Amino acid sequence: MKRVFLTGASSGIGLAIAHALLARGDEVWGTSRNLERIPKMPRCHPVGLDLTDRLSVEEAFNCALAEAGYFDVVINNAGGGHFGPAELLPIETIASQFQVLVFGQIQLMQLALRQMQARGDGLIINVTSLASRLPVPFMSAYNAAKAALASFIMSIQLELGNSRVHVVDLQPGDISTEFNQAVIKSVKGDRRYDAKVAKTWEVVERTMKNAPSPDLVARHVLKLINADRPPPRITVGDVFQSKIAPLIFRFLPQRVRLWGLKRYYGL
């Protein structure tokens, strides 16, 4: 039985992970900004947490830790996106995305590392995104935040060396969730971008509908928890997104990468 701290447990990937953990007998401290959204399940402890508030992050983790005693696993999963032209994106919007997707996640990692390093054991799984390597048009703040978090994770992995505390960068491709419904869209339009924005959103919606279910991510999370030495980074999604595309793009020059992504989104 593992004691797990899981952010964003009320929907999508987080809820699927919570169900998978509870089904095998683990104890889960699951967070949400709205506690009423977390389903009542045995061994699931609802925790109120707002990633936009540094004090909320610290209080939520420390209160859960006091109740649990320790955490074997911490899963950074909560987040959200913004959709609109990068040229018109307010700095406040970019800052908000980075607070939720970077600074809040890093704060939780640091809190988790302190207690895990003291125990000499533990696993931190950060759900970033394949968009950190294959950016989605008109989601520049989201792409950049996920790339920043992935880079920070790699730095931690270097610094931990042979520690028995493991940090994993889990990068989902498109997963069929309600993520798109929660994406905040720019209210300020621009005729230069309107057609491209509409075309990209159409592709994003179509891809999401045909994507694997969040249960796929949950199964990979269980494998990571069961592994003696979990890999530093894994990609989860359909075969093309998780295997073929990252392999091809790794060796392509930037000009060709841009050409391929423009073709994919019809830009």
Q: What are the pLDDT digits (tens) for 89-114?
A: 999 999 999 999 999 999 999 999 99
pLDDT band at 131 (very low <50, low <70, confident <90, very high): confident
Residue 210: count of CB within 10 angstroms of its CB:
9
- Looking at residue 136, the DSSP 8-state letter turns out to be P
Instruction: Check residue 213 and report its DSSP letter.
Output: P
* CA–CA separation, 190 and 144 (whole Å): 22
**Residue 28's pLDDT is what?**
96
Distance CA 15, CA 78 (A): 10
pLDDT for 184: 67
Domain containing residue 183: CATH number:
3.40.50.720
pLDDT (average), residues 157-184: 84
Query: Which of these, 184, 173, 39, lies nearest to 100 by C-alpha position?
Result: 184
pLDDT digits (tens, 9 = 90+) for 182-224: 666 666 667 788 888 888 888 888 887 888 889 999 999 999 9
Which amino acid is located at 49 in the chain?
L
Q: What is the pLDDT of residue 187?
A: 60
The whole-number pLDDT of residue 11 equals 87
Q: What is the pLDDT of residue 124?
A: 98
pLDDT for res 182: 60
Q: What confidence score (pLDDT) does residue 180 get?
A: 58
Average pLDDT score over the chain:
89
Q: What angle do CA 52, 212, 178 make, to 5 degrees?
A: 35
Cβ atoms 263, 133 nearer than 8 A: no
- What amino acid occupies position 170? L
Give the three-class secondary structure for 202: helix
Per-residue confidence band for 250, with pLDDT thresholds at 50, 70 and 90: confident
- Note the pTM of the prediction, 2 decimals: 0.91
Range of the domain at 44: 3-265
Highest mean pLDDT among 65-79, 166-180, 233-247: 65-79
pLDDT band for position 181 (cuts 50, 70, 90): low
Band of pLDDT at residue 41, cut at 50, 70 and 90: confident
The percent of residues in the chain predicted with pLDDT above 90, rounded, is 58
* Angle subtended at Cα 172 by Cα 166 and Cα 174, rounded to the nearest 5 degrees: 175
Q: Which amino acid is at 75?
A: I
Per the structure, the count of domains in the chain is 1
What strands, in cross-sheet order, belong to the sheet with 73-76?
A: 44-48, 27-32, 3-6, 73-76, 122-127, 165-172, 233-236
